[in-house]
A and B are shown apart, each in its own frame.
Chain A
């Protein structure tokens, strides 16, 4: 029940707010915050009860649940967590109350709707990370689009409609492919949606892999599917950006590590050169484009493209250390980039601008803001002692030493370390240093509420940097299992050849199948 409570408590909050919103804005805020904090506190038990000896999903009945839902099609309410989803669940429950406090005074219209969207979103995200039933997974995956659509579409900036539609259509394009993939898996597994029992050779696995992978790649976003992200971020309200960067993007990388890698190891290996090339291009390209952005939010958005390139690189390395680094880096990116968007939001509330040229010399009158901004910047750059370094180091070292691809990919990826310093420090200099003009000199430093929003994130930035084992240890068994699955690829070329032919045949099969479908469609018309 514990996990179900964590997932659905926010939804209960939505209902509570809907019923009680007559009590006024303050009541709504406190209800939302109460629910958010309660969810987080309860979710901590997921960590304390976590059994690191358990290789797969936790078997503790508090956490693992399987109930019939729609028996007719074999869909069940089936949830559970392992060492990978645990951290994404905690990241979600951790960031949501922070977002609620961050939005305390910044929502002018429709506060109750805003808080309801936020909490509904939390349930959707948690569901995605916990679902062990493909049907349930897809329901959560799609359901979280709706509150996000509202968050950007109602509380967003000037071009919010364009950005929302772009965001939703991009995602839907991927979802449509994924749905086809899910159905194909369903029919090949004796009409079962159960993720834990999905096994074996799928026909045709390359196409199925792609159906899932493209859906997730759009979400990550992997170059060249990234152009929805800068627009969505720029138009989203601060909190929307935090959730978007902090959690939503991780649904893509989570999907890869949960589905693409263990279910289709051969196909994953087959496409690794292509995917890793895109990841490396993304690292460098994202960094270079981030460097020349005049808008703070766009800069951070493009930096996400770069950072998540590292995550994808590690995930496809077939190396346990690198995969573990990638999972840790998902959390790290959520913290650092989440904090960056919060900071940009705070400065936007004061200056009503996100253009870098409008700033300068903020360090003078806003020393606390500048200090926190510096720490988060350094975390994003990957300074040892802070969180970003540990993940980046594990990814790069693991891929270099034991990666399934040429070392040159890693060499190129490592240039991202230089470029990150270039774009972040240049931005920091232009915003913080110099002599402030009259407007910038009049901006007040952070208020206690704002510091309270940031301090918990800083705590984890240091914690993960100095003592990452707290986080790595529970992850280890699950990562090892993933590694074992992706390493099943036969090394002898002969077998690989056969696989290759199988898939080629399969491609032909699918082609004929599509032709048939076309005919049928034509007939029905």
Chain B
């Protein structure tokens, strides 16, 4: 494959960004043109991605020197055994093309959807500029052939996420959420940076190929502890801190629910389908390192605990987008279980299916909001299926897929992950299964409360209820197809499935999971259906109660007060200490006190010395005589 193809793939959204960004003033009057340029830019990338995919499938990836573009940072100085050099270059293999297709495929549909969804918004061109910039940054993230380039994309998507969460910047809550997302992500980046430094110290390079080759050959400089394994453990765990931030895992997940302040297509693209999965991609890319370091268990445990925790919170939420957000956090947890237990292909497979069904559900949620004058509270909905038939049908597909209904996409990918976990981590399997039940329950609670039962829609809103225009429902319909079928196409056969074959060169061989595949599938199906049934029993004809009835419910409804705890025990103390202790007391009080004190002291001494200059000649003579006598005495008696 030619690097030029990848260059076009990458640059196209950048061009779109520049057009909408620089000439937005003139494009403002013509929404179709502005949105069209944005969507077209991604369509070009999609076509290139398909072409790249075919190349890779025909055994023609872009790796090593062939992908080299230019030297980015070169220092003449030697460091870790060689000159310091970081390059810009591409690495396109099976894993990359999977990511490319998800980003540009789902991305293109969301761009099209946005043309309708953002209609009439004051910042229309700005929106498409940001969205294109996001796609550009996300492409850098997955195309790079080294960790630093991945980090460039990593930060770039973080910036776009910040800009798009705070898109409606006159709203305090939106800009707060954007800022929170950026800062929490920076905590993760702190780990990512240190992880890169450790890798560089250990391998003298940040290039994937070079690092992985050396890792397999065992030529690793020991940086920490006494073994190469200890060094790799430190490096992989630090990188994982980055993944925890970007992919919203415990304890850094808090930014993602707030990120729902952004426009809904943004939530679909960035905060469900693509950016938040970057952490999973990073670990899958570093599979060799995680296998050697044997740190996957940490990844898997964080993943499964996050999955359970977020699912519990989702049980008691009434904001349609926040339910989906917590669901995303929870599903990302599954992906980490997958890559954590060494089933990298399964983790990435779930990433793909999730991108489709969760992207779909966010877009349908947007369609609901569009119909309901931006209402988010599901208690004020109900019975919408008659008025919004397409929205309802497509949402149902997505919900069935995530709930693990047999033969839909999520069923295959989730089951693969759980099955892989069973052998080495039976507890993780069980927690995962419980979470699967909760997932089915909260998702169908959402469905029943929103689309079934009696309408609780306020009369004035009810009169305007309408299905979304074609530019919006068509993407829904298109996305519903892979959400339903992609598992059947790619996932049948477990370790012998098409998807596993396609990615087998990228990932280290996972061990075959033991036990009957059919038995595990049966268990998963029963659990999923049970969750749906229980939701039907409880919510088929009633809304959730307005007030939590007991303490436990109250704690869950308030998301375990995690935000409050962070605020009280971290944010406020740092702010207070910085203001009172560091600035007022130390800086202005002590340091400046000493500086001004010295100045004042000199003035005082000067003032005292001034008194000696009395102008009385006799006084001068007296002091002179005393001085002479003293010196004479000194020389006579002491030297």
Contacts and interface: CB of A to CB of B under 8 A. Distances in A.
Contacts of B80: 401-402
Given A411-B194, A469-B74, A384 B575 contact: no
Interface string B472-490: 0000000000000000000
B592 A169 contact: no
Contacts of A227: 587, 591-592, 595
B79 interface: yes
B159 interface: yes
B578 A291 contact: yes
Given A288-B577, A414-B193, 4 more contacts: A289-B582, A320-B77, A414-B190, A479-B77
Nearest to B630: A522
Interface stretch (B105-113, B165-173, B549-557): B165-173
B79 A414 contact: no
A418 B186 contact: yes
A417 B186 contact: yes
B623 to A, nearest CB: 10
A480 B193 contact: no
Contact of A418 (B74, B178, B187): B187
B56 interface: no
A364 B170 contact: yes
19 contacts: A285-B582, A289-B582, A293-B583, A321-B79, A384-B151, A384-B152, A396-B193, A397-B200, A401-B79, A401-B197, A401-B201, A410-B194, A414-B194, A418-B189, A421-B183, A429-B175, A469-B71, A473-B76, A525-B627
Interface in B588-605: 591-592, 595, 599
Contact of B73 (A169, A414, A472, A477): A472
A166 interface: yes
A321 B75 contact: yes
B76 A397 contact: no
Contact of A393 (B73, B175, B627): B73
B193 A434 contact: no
Contacts of A429: 166, 175-176, 178-179
Contacts of A169: 599
Interface in A388-444: 389-390, 393-394, 396-398, 400-402, 410-411, 414-415, 417-418, 421-422, 425-426, 429, 432-435
Interface in A32-54: none
Contacts of A401: 79-80, 197, 200-201
Contact of B155 (A383, A402, A422, A477): A383
Given A227-B592, A469-B71, A292 B583 contact: yes
Contacts of B172: 433-434
Given A421-B183, A422-B183, A472-B75, A397 B196 contact: yes
Nearest to A288: B578
Nearest to A364: B170
Contacts of B186: 417-418, 421-422
B509 interface: no
A433 B189 CA distance: 25
Contacts of B591: 224, 227
- Would you list the 5 A-B pairs with minimal beta carbon distance, nearest first? A320-B77, A476-B76, A288-B578, A400-B197, A384-B152
Interface of A: 166, 169-170, 224, 227-228, 285, 288-289, 291-293, 319-321, 323-325, 361, 363-364, 378, 383-385, 389-390, 393-394, 396-398, 400-402, 410-411, 414-415, 417-418, 421-422, 425-426, 429, 432-435, 466-469, 472-473, 476-477, 479-480, 483, 523, 525
Contact of A417 (B74, B189, B574, B599): B189
Interface string B561-593: 000000000000011011100110001000110
A13 to B, nearest CB: 36
A213 to B, nearest CB: 18
Interface in B54-95: 71-80, 84
Contacts of B398: none
Nearest to A525: B627
Contacts of A468: 72-73
A396 B592 contact: no
Contacts of B198: 400
A432 B175 CA distance: 10
Nearest to A165: B599
Contact of A425 (B179, B583, B592, B631): B179
Q: Is the interface of B mostly helix, strand, loop or mixed?
A: helix
A320 B183 contact: no
B182 interface: yes
Given A292-B579, A414-B194, A433-B166, A321 B77 contact: yes
B156 interface: yes
Contacts of B73: 390, 393-394, 468-469, 472
B327 to A, nearest CB: 28
Contacts of A224: 591
Contacts of B595: 166, 170, 227-228
Contact of A400 (B189, B201, B599): B201
A385 B157 CA distance: 12
Contacts of A417: 186, 189-190, 193
Contact of A288 (B152, B197, B582, B599): B582
A288 B578 CA distance: 6
Contacts of A291: 575, 578
Nearest to A320: B77
B125 to A, nearest CB: 11
A70 to B, nearest CB: 33
Contacts of B72: 466-469
Contact of B183 (A166, A364, A402, A425): A425
A361 B170 contact: yes
Interface in B142-174: 148, 151-152, 155-156, 159, 162, 166, 169-170, 172
Contacts of A393: 73, 148, 193
A418 B183 contact: yes
Given A285-B582, A292-B583, A394-B73, A383 B194 contact: no
A396 B183 CA distance: 20
Contacts of B75: 320-321, 324-325, 394, 398, 472, 476, 479
Contacts of A433: 166, 169-170, 172, 175
Given A384-B156, A402-B79, A397 B197 contact: yes
B179 A434 contact: no
Contact of B578 (A292, A397, A415, A472): A292
Nearest to B599: A169
A378 B198 CA distance: 26
Contacts of B156: 383-385
Contacts of B200: 397, 400-401
Nearest to A230: B587
A129 B75 CA distance: 23
A480 B77 contact: yes
Nearest to A478: B76
Contacts of B183: 418, 421-422, 425
B161 to A, nearest CB: 13
A368 to B, nearest CB: 10
A160 B574 CA distance: 32
A384 B187 contact: no
Residue among A361, A384, A390 with the highest chain B CB neighbour number at 10 A: A384
Contacts of B196: 397
A426 B599 contact: no
A251 B516 CA distance: 72
A373 B345 CA distance: 43
Residue among A169, A400, A401 with the highest chain B CB neighbour number at 10 A: A401
A468 B71 CA distance: 10
A400 B221 CA distance: 14
A325 B574 CA distance: 30
A398 B77 CA distance: 10
Nearest to B122: A364
Contacts of A480: 76-77
Contacts of B148: 384, 393
B170 A418 contact: no
Contact of A289 (B189, B194, B583, B599): B583
